[in-house]
A and B are shown apart, each in its own frame.
Chain A
Amino acid sequence: MLELVTISALNGVLYGMLLFLMASGLTLIFSMMGVLNFAHASFYMLGAFFGFQISQILGFWPAFLVAPVLVGGIGALVERYGLRHVHRHGPVAELLFTFGLAFVIEEIVQMIWGKGPVDYRVPAALDFSAFTVFSTNYPAYKMFELLTAVTIFAVLFTVLKRTRVGLIIQASLTHSHMVAMLGHNVPRVFMLVFGVGTGLAAVAGVIAGPALVTQSNMAGALGPILFVVVVVGGLGSLAGAFLASLLIGLVQTFAVSIDLSVADVLGGIGVAPPTGGVLLDVWNVTVAQIAPIIPYLLLVLILIFRPTGLMGTREH
């Protein structure tokens, strides 16, 4: 039992940190431009596929550095030539633009790499077990993922809170007109933030690709979870996104390892099982099976009872 808890906690924190790598960019972009970037998970997927393709040619480490830069560049171009153009049509058009972009990126990935998973492997240098908890070997690659995520998290906070660039970005979030008056190129700051945000998502893609499955549905599977994270955390709040990432990461990881159903609980105290129909499905469903639903339940509950999110200040 203790073994299960320890391993699940480690995996949950890791998953949560990966989520935060993406959610941080998403929430920064949202608070700056008021656009909830539907295509954010698509940039994560592009990161994984670019990482795979570059690692085929140059090896894993160059891919680890080059792929996020490339994807971030694509993100910056999307902002410069797409979003900025759509901005004058209003927020719905912006949201729909990113929605269409997510659709197109998925199709392009399918067109180039096919629908099946690609053979993106953990690099040989990291393919060993780091330590043994009870009887389970914990892979070193997961520790590398965790380390990368924590490092980026630290760098991001330092840059935002302690440097001049971070100061300008923070000021642009709330007083973009004033920042422009002071002679800063606010559209360029937007482009930079969009580029860095999508680049961070790509980092998550590059390091998560070998551990998870790299295939064309990975964006569609993760995108909604990402929205759950930023909405539950509070739109525009980095600290909230951090908290919600860890929460969702831990909840989902623990849920999949619990093999308990209504039948076990109620059946244990002597309630007879239902004879058939939908109730029988509910009766036999285990917590592990409903794990995919939990984040959405959380989202709906949060939006009903605390629409600003855990740490949000504004109601949108």
Chain B
Amino acid sequence: MSDIASDAVNTPAPGGLSSAGPRAVVRLAAPWIALAVAFSILPTIFTSESALTMLSMMGIMIVFALSYNMLLGETGLLSFGHAVYYGLGGFLAVHAMNTVIHDALPVPLVVIPLVGGFSGLLFGIIFGSVSTRRAGTVFAMISLGLGELVASSSLILRGFFGGEEGVSTNRTKLLHLFGLNFGPQIQVYYLIAGWCLLCMAAMYALTRTPFGRMCNAVRENPERVQFVGYNPRTLRLIAFSLAGLFAGIAGALAAINFELVNSAEVGAGQSGVVLLAAYIGGIGSFMGPVIGAILVTWLEVMLSDVTDVWQLYFGLLFIGMVMFAPNGIAGLLMMHAPLWQAREYGSMLRLALAYLVALVPALVLLVGLILVIEMTYHLSVKASEGTTISVFHVALDAASKIPWVAAAVLVLGGFWLFRLTWPVVGNAWHDALAHADGRAK
């Protein structure tokens, strides 16, 4: 999988495939075969029903986040309304399923995501033709306006969007192929995994085509693209429509998974989640949004079990990433690639030790912050349920002073120690990089 990530950055010239020998083909196919194997054995490791549901949600989110990155990462279009295509894909898929059931048409469930994809593509072309004339802030604002427009319309057009409760369906009532009725979650998981793999491969392939390269060029310098003889607007429109296509597929997969679509799916919240996922993972490389989608889905499920204010932690994580790691998790990992390639294992070990040293105060700071947030929450909103709370399995009384003093000491002490240890990390990093450079020469 790391091959994919590094390829996305250090790419050879486009068209390299034509000169590829059999070994190159193996190299190209190997990560995808590994991914397919991983997808198929994951359910044997995580067997519980809830884990399967989470894996399915991750698959959907991967497709959605990658489609978003076709805009933000590849073409440089910051969209605040990408959920429109996801949600409309979901709604049309649900209506298609209900029509198939109602008229007893010979259509299996496996092809339903195509309906979502085509509707995403169609709406992508329609809305894209008005919004992709310009990039930058104007594009961001139009995407926001269109998003709000569709979200507000979804509450008015009740016949299509089903009002507050949404539109439901039954995925088991479609044509059964090979005895698959898609009742059990495991069958749905494999359906989603298959589509996810297909979409990932398609989107990756797109980044390697001349079209994908021109999208990057539009992101970097639209004026020069015009001089080369391309129309930036056309390229943006194509990228936008294709992003809509894949978002629509993701929406249809979600509709199949939950058997329900409601108007929240086209709303600003959903657009925000996909932006967060892609950005936290890292928009600079192909694997970034995949990492982000997995992490964000996992956090959504795990944190919402543990705390009511999980979205706050989510937002703070996002702000932290924007401020300190604008290239996301993938960017942080890629920073270490030169060390790895130079085989500087000694200095990498020293760097890892420095990370460990800085990790301790960072954790102390984190625990302190969590204490403050949880105690505030329990003192204000949940005051009626009593002030005793349990944080990390330790019972605390948020009304007494001692936990507050402890939290303050943890936050301030952790911050102070972190400031002290950070230069250690910085030095270790510079040493390691200098060694790697020396070896390279």
Which of B78, B160, B322 makes the CB contact (< 8 A) with A100? B322
Do A107 and B142 touch (CB < 8 A)? no
Q: Is the CB of B100 closer than 8 A to any CB of chain A?
A: no
Do A231 and B141 touch (CB < 8 A)? yes
Chain B residues with Cβ below 8 Å from A296 are 145-146, 148-149, 152
Do A96 and B145 touch (CB < 8 A)? no
Do A97 and B145 touch (CB < 8 A)? no
Q: Is the CB of A290 closer than 8 A to any CB of chain B?
A: yes
Do B272 and A114 touch (CB < 8 A)? no
Q: Whose C-beta in chain B lies nearest to the C-beta of A81? A: B323
Q: Is the CB of A191 closer than 8 A to any CB of chain B?
A: no
Q: Is the CB of B376 closer than 8 A to any CB of chain A?
A: yes
Q: Is the CB of A304 closer than 8 A to any CB of chain B?
A: yes
Distance from B377 Cβ to chain A, minimum over Cβ atoms (Å): 5
Do B376 and A111 touch (CB < 8 A)? yes
A82–B315 Cα gap in the complex (Å)? 14
Distance from A300 Cβ to chain B, minimum over Cβ atoms (Å): 5
Do A304 and B160 touch (CB < 8 A)? no
A303–B373 Cα gap in the complex (Å)? 42
Do B322 and A281 touch (CB < 8 A)? no
8 A Cβ contacts from A268-292 to B? 276-278, 280-282, 285, 289-290, 292
Q: Is the CB of B138 closer than 8 A to any CB of chain A?
A: yes
Do A282 and B138 touch (CB < 8 A)? no
Do B157 and A112 touch (CB < 8 A)? no
Do B145 and A104 touch (CB < 8 A)? no
Q: A89-B326, A107-B312, A290-B156 are in contact. Are A316 and B138 (CB under 8 A)?
A: yes
Q: Whose C-beta in chain A lies nearest to the C-beta of B316? A: A104
Distance from B295 Cβ to chain A, minimum over Cβ atoms (Å): 16
Q: Is the CB of A251 closer than 8 A to any CB of chain B?
A: no
Chain A residues with Cβ below 8 Å from B268 are 220, 224
Do B309 and A107 touch (CB < 8 A)? yes
Q: Which of B54-62, B129-137, B197-205, B208-216 lines the interface with chain A?
A: B129-137
Q: Is the CB of A293 closer than 8 A to any CB of chain B?
A: yes
Which of A101, A104, A276, A289 makes the CB contact (< 8 A) with B312? A104
Do A97 and B141 touch (CB < 8 A)? no
A36–B141 Cα gap in the complex (Å)? 10
Distance from A63 Cβ to chain B, minimum over Cβ atoms (Å): 19
A97–B275 Cα gap in the complex (Å)? 12
Most chain B C-beta atoms within 10 Å of own C-beta, residue among A85, A235, A315, A316? A316
Chain A residues with Cβ below 8 Å from B148 are 224, 296
Chain B residues with Cβ below 8 Å from A315 are 134, 138
A101–B312 Cα gap in the complex (Å)? 10
Do A297 and B149 touch (CB < 8 A)? yes
Q: Scoring B residues 138 to 160 as 1 if CB is less than 8 Å from chain A, else 0, what string do you get?
A: 10111011101100110011111
Which of B80, B138, B314, B322 makes the CB contact (< 8 A) with A303? B138
Do A100 and B318 touch (CB < 8 A)? yes
Q: Is the CB of A92 closer than 8 A to any CB of chain B?
A: yes
Distance from B326 Cβ to chain A, minimum over Cβ atoms (Å): 4
A235–B138 Cα gap in the complex (Å)? 10
Q: Whose C-beta in chain A lies nearest to the C-beta of B139? A: A303
Q: Is the CB of A180 closer than 8 A to any CB of chain B?
A: no
Total interface residues on B, CB under 8 Å, equals 45
8 A Cβ contacts from A53-111 to B? 82, 85-86, 89-93, 95-97, 99-101, 103-104, 107-108, 110-111
A276–B279 Cα gap in the complex (Å)? 43
Which of B160, B323, B376 makes the CB contact (< 8 A) with A278? B160
Q: Is the CB of B10 closer than 8 A to any CB of chain A?
A: no
Do B279 and A97 touch (CB < 8 A)? no
Distance from A92 Cβ to chain B, minimum over Cβ atoms (Å): 6
8 A Cβ contacts from A217-237 to B? 220, 224, 227-228, 231, 235
A290–B153 Cα gap in the complex (Å)? 8
Do A289 and B134 touch (CB < 8 A)? no
A293–B323 Cα gap in the complex (Å)? 34
Q: A296-B145, A297-B149 are in contact. Are A96 and B377 (CB under 8 A)?
A: no
Q: Is the CB of B380 closer than 8 A to any CB of chain A?
A: yes
Q: Whose C-beta in chain B lies nearest to the C-beta of A89? A: B326
Which of B131, B134, B152, B157 makes the CB contact (< 8 A) with A292? B152
Q: A97-B323, A282-B157, A299-B142 are in contact. Are A103 and B311 (CB under 8 A)?
A: yes
Q: A99-B275, A107-B311 are in contact. Are A227 and B157 (CB under 8 A)?
A: no
Do B159 and A92 touch (CB < 8 A)? no
Which of A89, A231, A316 makes the CB contact (< 8 A) with B136? A316
Do A281 and B160 touch (CB < 8 A)? yes
Q: Is the CB of A199 closer than 8 A to any CB of chain B?
A: no
A227–B380 Cα gap in the complex (Å)? 32
Q: Is the CB of A307 closer than 8 A to any CB of chain B?
A: yes
Do A300 and B142 touch (CB < 8 A)? yes
Chain B residues with Cβ below 8 Å from A99 are 80, 272, 275
Q: Whose C-beta in chain B lies nearest to the C-beta of A286? A: B156
Most chain A C-beta atoms within 10 Å of own C-beta, residue among B141, B158, B380? B141
Do A85 and B309 touch (CB < 8 A)? no
Q: Is the CB of B41 closer than 8 A to any CB of chain A?
A: no
Do A111 and B373 touch (CB < 8 A)? yes
Distance from B86 Cβ to chain A, minimum over Cβ atoms (Å): 18
Q: Is the CB of B402 closer than 8 A to any CB of chain A?
A: no
Which of A227, A235, A276 makes the CB contact (< 8 A) with B159? A276
Do A316 and B137 touch (CB < 8 A)? yes
Do B322 and A93 touch (CB < 8 A)? yes
Q: Is the CB of B319 closer than 8 A to any CB of chain A?
A: yes
Do A307 and B134 touch (CB < 8 A)? yes
Chain A residues with Cβ below 8 Å from B13 are none
A280–B78 Cα gap in the complex (Å)? 36
Q: Scoring A residues 109 to 124 as 1 if CB is less than 8 Å from chain B, else 0, what string do you get?
A: 0111110000000000
A224–B147 Cα gap in the complex (Å)? 10
Instruction: List 4 extra interface pairs beyond A91-B136, A285-B156, A303-B141, CB under 8 A.
Output: A224-B148, A281-B156, A296-B148, A303-B142
A-B contacts, 16 listed (Cβ < 8 Å): A36-B140, A82-B319, A93-B322, A96-B78, A96-B318, A100-B318, A104-B316, A111-B312, A112-B376, A113-B380, A113-B381, A231-B141, A277-B160, A281-B160, A285-B156, A293-B156
Interface residues of B (CB under 8 A from A): 72, 78, 80, 130-131, 133-134, 136-138, 140-142, 144-146, 148-149, 152-153, 156-160, 268, 272, 275, 279, 309, 311-312, 314-316, 318-319, 322-323, 326, 373, 376-377, 380-381
Closest 9 CB pairs of A and B: A107-B312, A104-B315, A299-B145, A103-B315, A100-B319, A296-B149, A89-B326, A100-B318, A281-B157
